[in-house]
Amino acid sequence: MGSSSNRLYFGDNLSVLSEQQLKRYKYEADNSTYKAENLTAPRYSPTRTVEWRRVYPGAHRQWRFSIDELERLYAEGCILLRRDGLPRKDGLQEYLFEADAPALQDIWTDVGFGRTSDERLGFQTQKPEALLERVINASSNEGDVGLDPFCGCGTAVAVAERLNRSWIGIDITHLAVSLMRGRRLARRRRIQGSTATSTSLTTARARRSGSSCRSRAGTSTAA
Ligand SMILES: C[S@@+](CC[C@H](N)C(=O)[O-])C[C@H]1O[C@@H](n2cnc3c(N)ncnc32)[C@H](O)[C@@H]1O
């Protein structure tokens, strides 16, 4: 599991865009994020280097789409307008939820946590919350119930709670149960803005000393 965080998931949780790609979605409309793309492309074209709705793409530029397609996009409200009501040449509105992102593969290297991450409880087989977040988001809805019958220090349980799922966590060891208790308590205190967060985790860590868990180690254009 890698610790790189330069790729993020969104939407259906099974596709990814790079942070750089995501940064371009900087506008908001109707509670949705969008980016504004260029409607023109380099090079002259006899059919596309033409005025459209009183806007000219430029002497050595062309519209990226046919005039029919531009009209369709315009009619569907996908083209941003200037203050004077004319189409913006950089006004192709593309929403994040419609983005054509590559599907996630079955090896995930973009979710992890570092050796010194605050998330670490010292539990040997602890999984990163980002991993469970992706799994839970991809496989359930708010209000659903998640079951982790081997829940260890309770990562699945903690994330399920944060994502408004109900949960059932089972573990055979007292250590796991106490770590989970500490984790939930810490979260509740964090939510309440308390500064006492670390105490419960420290207590939980102290309780597990001597156990088997190791200590904190680790478009197309026309020619
Ligand atoms: C790989 S760990 C789970 C780690 C967890 N995903 C996390 O993030 O902390 C597996 C857990 O299964 C528990 N376990 C093993 N056998 C069990 C059993 N028969 N019933 C319940 N829990 C069991 C162990 O105590 C251990 O905490």
Closest ligand 1 atom number to CA of residue 148: 6
C-alpha to C-alpha distance for 66 and 47, rounded to whole angstroms: 8
Neighbouring C-beta atoms of residue 15, cutoff 10 Å: 14
Pocket test for ligand 1, best of 172, 184, 201, 208 (most atoms within 8 A of CB): 172
For residue 104, report the distance from its CA to the centre of ligand 1, in Å: 27
The pLDDT value given to residue 178:
93
C-alpha to C-alpha distance for 181 and 188, rounded to whole angstroms: 11
For residue 125, report the distance from its CA to the centre of ligand 1, in Å: 9
pTM of the model: 0.55
Nearest protein Cα to ligand 1, atom 26: 152
The pLDDT value given to residue 221:
46
For residue 173, report the distance from its CA to the centre of ligand 1, in Å: 8
Q: Select from 38, 97, 44, 31 the least CA-distant residue to 70.
A: 38
SS (H, E, C) 99-111: CCCCECCCCCCCC
The pLDDT value given to residue 143:
94
The pLDDT value given to residue 127:
95
Q: Does the Cβ of 170 fall within 6 Å of ligand 1?
A: yes
Q: Does the Cβ of 212 fall within 6 Å of ligand 1?
A: no
For residue 168, report the distance from its CA to the centre of ligand 1, in Å: 13
Closest ligand 1 atom number to CA of residue 123: 9
Tokens of 210: 């001597």
Q: What is 128-186 written as a DSSP string?
A: PHHHHHHHHHHH--TT-EEEETT-TTTHHHHHHHHTT-EEEE--S-HHHHHHHHHHHHH
Task: Give 3's contacts (C-beta < 8 A, 6+ positions apart).
Answer: 112, 113, 114
Residue pair 41/61 in contact (Cβ under 8 Å)? The answer is yes
The pLDDT value given to residue 18:
73
Residue pair 107/136 in contact (Cβ under 8 Å)? The answer is no
Pocket test for ligand 1, best of 111, 150, 212 (most atoms within 8 A of CB): 150
The pLDDT value given to residue 14:
58
Nearest protein Cα to ligand 1, atom 16: 172
Q: Does the Cβ of 176 fall within 6 Å of ligand 1?
A: yes
Residue pair 93/78 in contact (Cβ under 8 Å)? The answer is yes
Which segments of the chain have a pLDDT < 70?
1-16, 101, 194-223
Pocket test for ligand 1, best of 151, 159, 174 (most atoms within 8 A of CB): 151
The pLDDT value given to residue 194:
53
Helix, strand and coil percent figures for the chain, each rounded to 5: 30, 20, 50
Tokens of 118: 């605050």
Q: Does the Cβ of 215 fall within 6 Å of ligand 1?
A: no
The pLDDT value given to residue 215:
27
The pLDDT value given to residue 99:
78
